[in-house]
Amino acid sequence: MEVIAVKELSKLYSSRDGSVHALQEINFKVSEGEFIAVVGPSGCGKSTLLKILAGILPPSNGEVRLRGTPITGPRRDIGVVFQSPVLFPWRSVLDNVLLPVDVQRLGRDGHLKVAMDLLNLVGLDGFERRYPWELSGGMQQRVAITRALIHDPAMLLMDEPFGALDAMTREQMNLELQRIWLERRKTVIFITHSIPEAVFLADRVLVMTPRPGCIMDDVQVKIPRPRALEAMNFPEFAPYVHSIRGRFNAKGMIDA
């Protein structure tokens, strides 16, 4: 079943120095439960694409449909996780998780068990009364993921959610995210600068060109799941990374 359809999507930003063409004729589709990673050079429009998918930015041309309905603004059936967890320091872990429920007035009573089940899923049972400053960076990001899942969204958008973490924590979070995804099977679009991370996590990797960004490659990753970190050393892993990296030159840009 098709969940996301992006058709002829373009984005122009206006400035005093003229227009900046951020995205140009983006086209792709995502099926129910697929995990899609998006990679590309800095400034290619990855985050702009995610903000349009989230309904935060309007496109200049084209359209995005979620389960057949155009995305024209923020929607309750979309969950978003940013690079920074963006947790309120005066709210406990549980209260941060329940924030979308409070904002959307969905009723706490019906979501308390869901919140506790999710916290157990991400390994934070027993931490529901703690505050963000009492948690590590990885634990804070788990809270952010839980908060994005609390209202059972149709699509989960993740904008470099592990980019600020140290290498070891990042690897652990990759394993955690894979485990959560295997458990819940949410449709995910995951923005990252790391090609190995994209290959490890995704069913498909969309490769973007430099600005104006467009999709230059759609790589299907056929490595069996669940994937252990050791999979990065397997012979079948390297060709995917080399193929994607081969689109970049030595300066980190993508070869035309």
**CA 248, 252, 256: angle at the middle one, nearest 5?**
40
The answer to the question of residue 121 being in a domain is no
What pLDDT does 254 receive? 45
What pLDDT does 255 receive? 39
The answer to the question of residue 90 being in a domain is no
The answer to the question of residue 82 being in a domain is no
CATH value at residue 72: 3.40.50.300
pTM above 0.85, yes or no: yes
The answer to the question of residue 160 being in a domain is yes
Please check whether residue 220 is in contact with residue 188, taking contact to mean a CB–CB distance below 8 angstroms. Answer: no
The answer to the question of residue 51 being in a domain is yes
The answer to the question of residue 95 being in a domain is no
pLDDT tens digits along 174-192: 999 999 999 989 999 999 9
Question: What amino acid is encoded at 175 in this protein?
Answer: L
Alpha-carbon gap, residue 35 to 197, rounded angstroms:
12
Alpha-carbon gap, residue 91 to 147, rounded angstroms:
13
Of the candidates 179, 182, 186, 183, the one whose C-alpha atom is nearest the C-alpha of residue 156 is 186
Instruction: List, run by run, the mean pLDDT of 10-residue segments along the chain (256 residues).
Output: 93 83 94 96 91 94 94 90 92 94 81 91 92 94 92 92 88 91 94 94 95 93 92 88 79 43
Can you give the residue range of the structural domain that contains 9?
A: 2-77+153-245
Q: How many structural domains is the chain composed of?
A: 1
The answer to the question of residue 252 being in a domain is no
What pLDDT does 251 receive? 42
Please check whether residue 80 is in contact with residue 149, taking contact to mean a CB–CB distance below 8 angstroms. Answer: no
The string of DSSP codes covering 124-136 is -TT-TT--GGGS-
Alpha-carbon gap, residue 205 to 40, rounded angstroms:
10
What pLDDT does 74 receive? 87
Please check whether residue 240 is in contact with residue 194, taking contact to mean a CB–CB distance below 8 angstroms. Answer: no
Per the omega criterion (within 30 degrees of 0), is the bond before 196 cis?
Answer: no
**CA 144, 170, 82: angle at the middle one, nearest 5?**
35
The answer to the question of residue 204 being in a domain is yes
